[in-house]
A and B are shown apart, each in its own frame.
Chain A
Amino acid sequence: MTDGATGPVGLKVSTPDEPAADVSATVAENVLGRSPGQLAWLRLKRDRTAWASGFALLFFAVVAMAAPLIERLYGKGPLDRFSDKLDGNGNPLGYLGGVSAEHWLGVQPRLGRDILIQIVYGMRTSLLVALTAALLTIVLGVVVGIVAGYLGGKVDAVLSWLTDLTLAFPFYIFCFAFVPIAVAQRYGPTDQEASWFRPVLLIIVFVLFNWTYSARLVRGQVLTLREREFVEAARASGAGLGHVLFRQLLPNLWAPILVTFSLNVPALITAEAALSFLGIGILEPTPDLGRLIADSVNYVRDDPAFTLTGGITLFVLVLAFNLFGDSLRDALDPKSDR
Chain B
Amino acid sequence: MLRFFIKKLLLAATTLITVSVITFGLFFAAPNNPAELMCGNRKTCTPAQEESIARRMGLDKPVVQQYADFMAGIVKGRTFGEGDAVRECPAPCLGYSFRNDEPVTDIIGRTLPVTLSIVFGAAVVWLLIGVSVGMVSALRKGTIFDRGAVGFSLTGASMPILLFGPLLLIIFVYETGLLAYPSYVPLTENPVKWAAAMLLPWLALGFINSASYARLSRAQMLETLSEDFVRTARAKGMTKFRVYGKHALRAAITPIVTIAGLDLGTYLGGTVVTETIFGFTGLGKASLNAAINLDMPLVMATVLLAALFIVAANVIVDVLYSFIDPRVRLA
Contact = CB atoms under 8 A, between A and B. Distances in A.
A271 B291 CA distance: 18
A338 B299 contact: no
Contact of B19 (A165, A319, A323): A165
B273 interface: yes
A264 interface: no
Contacts of B23: 174, 177
Interface string A289-315: 010010011001100100110111011
Nearest to A279: B292
| Chain B binding surface SS class | helix
A180 interface: yes
Interface size band for A? 35 or more
Contacts of A310: 162
A165 B14 CA distance: 9
Contacts of A230: none
Interface stretch (B94-102, B166-174, B228-236): B166-174
Contact of B284 (A172, A277, A290, A297): A172
Interface in B216-254: 218-219, 222-223
Interface residues of B, number: 56
Contacts of A11: none
Nearest to A175: B291
B272 A278 contact: yes
Given A273-B160, A338-B219, A170 B310 contact: yes
Q: Would you call the interface of chain A mostly helix, strand, loop, or mixed?
A: helix
B326 interface: no
Interface in B22-77: 23, 26, 29-32
B111 interface: no
B129 interface: no
B270 A308 contact: no
B162 A168 contact: no
A165 B18 CA distance: 8
B160 A297 contact: no
Contacts of B155: 319
Contacts of A184: 30-32, 294
Nearest to B300: A177
Nearest to B155: A319
Contacts, number: 143
B174 A177 contact: no
Interface string A254-287: 0000000000001000100110011110000000
Contacts of A22: none
A185 interface: yes
B258 to A, nearest CB: 14
Nearest to A304: B170
Nearest to B173: A301
Given A170-B266, A337-B222, A300 B166 contact: yes
Given A170-B266, A170-B303, A173-B284, A300 B273 contact: no
B269 A322 contact: no
Contacts of B157: 322
B15 A176 contact: no
A254 to B, nearest CB: 24
B78 interface: no
A168 B15 contact: yes
B139 interface: no
A174 B24 CA distance: 12
A169 B170 contact: no
A300 B171 CA distance: 11
A74 interface: no
Nearest to A181: B30
Contact of B160 (A170, A279, A311): A311
Given A168-B15, A270-B160, A279-B292, A176 B222 contact: no
A47 interface: no
A168 B272 contact: no
B306 A273 contact: no
A280 B160 CA distance: 18
Interface string B257-268: 000000000100
A203 interface: no
Contact of A170 (B11, B26, B222, B269): B269
A266 B299 contact: no
A297 B166 CA distance: 7
B310 A185 contact: no
Nearest to B157: A322
Nearest to B292: A180
A311 B299 contact: no
Contacts of A167: 310
Nearest to A319: B158
Contact of A266 (B158, B290, B292): B158
B91 to A, nearest CB: 23
Interface string B195-220: 00000000000000000000100110
A165 B19 CA distance: 8
Nearest to A314: B160
Indicate the member of A181, A293, A301 with the most B CB atoms within 10 Å. A181
A172 B218 CA distance: 30
A156 interface: no
B16 interface: yes
A25 to B, nearest CB: 35
Interface string B299-312: 10011001101110
13 contacts: A165-B19, A172-B270, A173-B269, A176-B288, A176-B299, A181-B29, A280-B291, A290-B162, A300-B169, A304-B174, A304-B175, A314-B160, A314-B163
Given A168-B311, A322-B154, 20 more contacts: A165-B18, A165-B19, A167-B310, A169-B307, A170-B307, A172-B284, A176-B287, A176-B292, A177-B303, A184-B30, A273-B160, A300-B170, A304-B166, A308-B166, A311-B162, A314-B163, A323-B154, A326-B154, A337-B219, A337-B223
Interface of B: 11, 15-16, 18-19, 23, 26, 29-32, 150, 154-155, 157-164, 166-167, 169-170, 174-175, 215, 218-219, 222-223, 266, 269-270, 272-273, 276-277, 284, 287-288, 290-292, 294, 299, 302-303, 306-307, 309-311, 314
Sorted nearest first, the 3 A-B pairs with minimum C-beta distance are A311-B163, A170-B306, A176-B291
